[in-house]
Amino acid sequence: MNVLVFDIETIPDIQSGQKIFDLAGLDDASTVKAMRHLRQQKAGTDFMPLHLHQIVAISVVYRGMGDDMGHEVSVRSLGKLGSTEAELLTLFIEHIEERTPTLVSWNGTGFDLPVIHYRMLKNSISAPGYWEKGDNNSAFRYDNYLGRYHERHTDLMDVLASYNRNASAPLDHIATMLGYPGKMGMDGSKVWDQYQAGNLNAIRNYCETDVLNTYLVYLRYQLMRGELNQDELQQEYALLRDLLDNSGKAHLQKFSKAWA
């Protein structure tokens, strides 16, 4: 098992919005208000189109096995509080380029990866291993990160819904249904307000709990498809609980206690 579960948190791309909609001179809050108003008028929702999301946090759970993988499980937000978007993306891509993990997400096909693609484009980030489709490495011909039905990127929401958007479910509902903590007092709609208030650490902590929920659903998915048996599942649970309980981080310890 060499798995990288990931989640991103975003705010509106103020710089691009000011250029595209001719909003130069407005402060950040007024720019976002105007962008949301224009979006509501056009699309009936104030949720920004994917190319106008700026990434402010990327959190990952990494599970590696084997001598070259460190026999580890870890959860963290990439970079530091002051890291730029380009730095966050570079660290994320380095994980992929160096370890070629199975990427796991919840709605990564519909949101996270398209946003990451646009932001890689904007920030001039190179990722040949990620974009490989078999031209230089035949192992990627029928299993690459870009193929919707390939396992190298496993979008759990997409897979569990049989690739039928009408059958998709929120991560919070599925996590709660399975006895995992789900949302813990915050959701994506609050990220911009928290960012304005300077609470980037709270955003990163929230992102980490979301990615933990995704990882736990993935473990149950692996049980369902026979890749783990019950004993192995319990071993994975125990390994993760030990990490959370001994992390010294209040939000991770709170997550462990809320885990039924």
Q: Which residue in this structure is represented by tokens 């509902």? A: 173
Task: Give ∠ CA 93-97-99 in degrees, rounded to 5.
Answer: 115
pTM above 0.85, yes or no: yes
Domains annotated for the chain, with CATH where assigned, are 2-258 (3.30.420.10)
Nearest Cα to 188, choosing from 104, 92, 76, 107?
107
Q: How many CA atoms lie within 13 A of 197 on its CB side?
A: 9
CA distances from 207 to 37, 46, 76, 187, 210 (A): 27, 22, 9, 9, 5
Q: Report, as an integer, the average pLDDT of 56-65.
A: 94
Task: Decide if pLDDT at 53 tops 90.
Answer: yes
* pLDDT at position 66: 59
Phi, psi of 53, deg, nearest 5: -110, 130
Output the average pLDDT for the chain. Answer: 95
Closest CA to 61 of 52, 48, 50, 72: 72
Q: How far apart are CA 255 and CA 234, in angstroms?
A: 17
How much is the pLDDT for 1?
66
Average pLDDT, integer, range 139-168 = 96
Sign of CA dihedral 128, 217, 184, 240: negative
Q: What is the pLDDT of residues 3-42, one digit of tens each?
A: 999 999 999 999 999 999 999 999 999 999 999 999 999 9
The pLDDT of residue 98 is above 60: yes
Instruction: Quick: pLDDT tens for 190-207.
Output: 999 999 999 999 999 999
Over residues 107-147, the pLDDT tens digits come to 999 999 999 999 999 999 999 999 999 999 999 999 999 99
